[in-house]
Amino acid sequence: MDNKYAIGVDVGGTTTKFGIVNSKGVIISQSRIPSGEHEFVEDFIQELYNKLMPMVEAVGGKKNIKGIGMGAPNGNIYSGTIEYAPNLKWKGIIPMTDIITQKFSLPSKLTNDANAAAVGEMLYGCAKNMKHFITITLGTGVGSGIVIDGKIVVGHDGFAGELGHTIIRPGGRLHKGTGMKGSLESYASATGVRETAIELITMYPQKETLLRNYSIHELTSQIVYECAMKGDAIANEIFEFTGQILGESLANFVMFSSPEAIVLFGGLTKAGNLLLHPTRKHMEANLLPIFKNKVKIIFSELKESDAAILGASALIW
Amino acid sequence: MDNKYAIGVDVGGTTTKFGIVNSKGVIISQSRIPSGEHEFVEDFIQELYNKLMPMVEAVGGKKNIKGIGMGAPNGNIYSGTIEYAPNLKWKGIIPMTDIITQKFSLPSKLTNDANAAAVGEMLYGCAKNMKHFITITLGTGVGSGIVIDGKIVVGHDGFAGELGHTIIRPGGRLHKGTGMKGSLESYASATGVRETAIELITMYPQKETLLRNYSIHELTSQIVYECAMKGDAIANEIFEFTGQILGESLANFVMFSSPEAIVLFGGLTKAGNLLLHPTRKHMEANLLPIFKNKVKIIFSELKESDAAILGASALIW
């Protein structure tokens, strides 16, 4: 049988991961290239081609590949273009599906990276059998994919679901990438946790904290997590605050689309209950009674990149 | 031909409006009863029956009526029940479609009042031909109906679209009905405008303003509007502030579902550009570049109650 496989590509700010996926949603081979090192998108696609073609040959060549699905920041499913992605090197409007199809002579589809992850979660992850859920990726930034009635919400122009950029503290912390103040992403991302740490250390110069053992450069959300697990009060306060902001935002999202579940992904979820408990508490506290104690908050069981590769490949089936 | 008409009922906090609607969406007769004067919902339905039946007879009797559609606060399209509506007298869970069908021996459908208005707008109003839009009712409270891909968003349990209760000023103004702090409804409603007026008069005891010619009891959003039109600085500041809160909230909603348009309804829209200009300014200021200058904000051309009656009747077709 021809067309046994689809290729899924997940373009991230620093790394692009890709894999060959069979029709049951198993990634049978996988690799990665850097995203940020090619000034021209054509060179990036050339490197992707060089890495992918041996993998394609290993499954019997292009005749066995149905197409290439890609998830990328600001990827637009309608136009197949990546438009003004702040975290990518290629500026302006990139006609990505055209470039891929020309290079590979294979059908190609593009979507937003967070939407690709949500599709992966719906088809192969913990949202299987759910028709209404929201995925939130808590990584360097905050991404989101919204599913209503079993379909990804893309809106009238293909750009819906930018929940990381919704404002939860009007006039609050500056987001350097967007210039906006008080967006969810400026607090509830790895970058945001680091900034909260710097703020709190500065705000309480007298208070003892393990965080002072690290230079400003060394401080990461991972270090804040490790200090919190050792019982450090300020480190714990940082996760409490991060969970509060996230929980308040989730309450707003729930009152929009009333999902069954919120699925959390990404590096920050390693904090586990340190993040989950305050998030749940503040979400519930900000919900109307009709929504209370109904919405599950769950951590994805898929690796974030696997979900995106699977979701991107699913565009092709 | 039988079943030429449908009945639409719009249950509001104080008044219930209803009409007989033909298949072209023309309300051919219309009446109203109070909503808040019947301790038992059965008595309310009895009064509705008494008023409706002569109207039904006038169009040839029940054989010409296909059914009764109702929009009501917290009305649930899945269960046909009104659940814990804070602004209605009947507490707990009211099995509304059962009660109606039993009384009238006609098929019956229920939905949220704001969703009914959104359906009316989509079928017969300014959102005709739009597949992605959000309606916001700026009345005593703030209601909302969300349309994605031509369908009302009801979520997994039928309660989606409570945008008036999303938090836009965390820790902000107390909403007496819900106990929540800083919700959109606590600012961008007729009640909210009145409260802002009282706050500003108190905050600036020295400043001259026409608003001081009115007692606290007399102050309404209508009076604030009239003073603003006379050039009163504080009254103008009140609309500027209300528009800011509304605009910031709309930006968040746009980044959720990326609609073509936001349709505004309700008493506050009488303020026209006094409200529209700051709303648009603050919405645009809080949008990511990919959303800027794309989303129309329009005032509904339908009367709010007409939209809800039409939308409720459309449940039946």
Pick B255's closest partner by Cβ from A166, A260, A291: A166
Question: How far apart are alpha carbons A247 and A297 in whole angstroms?
Answer: 10
pLDDT digits (tens, 9 = 90+) for B236-285: 999 999 999 999 999 999 999 999 999 998 889 999 999 999 999 999 99
Pick left, alpha or beta for residue B161 (phi over 0 → left; psi -120 to 50 → alpha; otherwise beta): left
CA of A8 vs chain B CAs: smallest distance (Å): 25
Chain B residues lying within 8 Å of A166, measured CB to CB: 251-252, 255-256
CA of B156 vs chain A CAs: smallest distance (Å): 6
Average pLDDT of the segment spanning A12-34 = 93
Among residues B6, B4, B83, B65, the alpha carbon closest in space to that of B312 is found at B6
How high is the pLDDT of residue A301?
85
Average pLDDT of the segment spanning A167-185 = 95
B149 touches chain A (CB under 8 A): yes
How high is the pLDDT of residue B232?
97
Question: How far apart are alpha carbons A188 and B177 in whole angstroms?
Answer: 30
pLDDT digits (tens, 9 = 90+) for B114-134: 999 999 999 989 999 899 999
Mutate to test the interface with A, among B82, B144, B148, B173 (most CBs of A within 10 A): B148
Q: Residues of chain A with pLDDT > 70: what percent?
A: 99
First CA to last CA distance, chain A: 15
Is beta strand B5-11 parallel, antiparallel or unpaired with respect to A296-299? unpaired
**What are B66's strand-pairing partners?**
none
Q: Which residues of A281-302 are buried (b: 16+ CB within 10 A; e: fewer)?
A: ebbbebbbebbeebbebbebeb
pLDDT digits (tens, 9 = 90+) for A218-257: 999 999 999 999 999 999 999 999 999 999 999 999 999 9
Chain B residues lying within 8 Å of A81, measured CB to CB: none
CATH code assigned to A5-121+305-314: 3.30.420.40
The answer to whether domain A5-121+305-314 and domain A129-301 are alike in fold is: yes
| Residue B68 CB contacts under 8 Å (≥ 6 apart), including other chains | B6, B7, B9, B100, B104, B106, B107, B108, B109, B316
Mutate to test the interface with A, among B134, B162, B169 (most CBs of A within 10 A): B162
On the question of pLDDT at B140 being above 80, the answer is: yes
Task: Tell me the CATH number of domain B130-300, given options 3.40.640.10, 3.20.20.70, 3.30.420.40, 3.10.20.600.
Answer: 3.30.420.40
- Binary contact (A255, B165; C-beta < 8 A): yes
How high is the pLDDT of residue B2?
58
How high is the pLDDT of residue B302?
85
Task: Tell me the CATH number of domain A129-301, given options 3.30.420.40, 3.20.20.210, 3.10.310.10, 3.40.50.261.
Answer: 3.30.420.40
- Global pTM reads 0.93
How large is the ipTM?
0.93
Question: How far apart are alpha carbons A152 and A131 in whole angstroms?
Answer: 10
| Domain boundary assignment for chain B | 5-121+305-314, 130-300
Q: What are phi and psi of A21, to 5 degrees?
A: -120, 135
What are the distances in angstroms from CA A67 to CA A78, A88, B131? 17, 24, 30
How high is the pLDDT of residue B1?
52
B174 touches chain A (CB under 8 A): no
- Binary contact (A255, B290; C-beta < 8 A): no
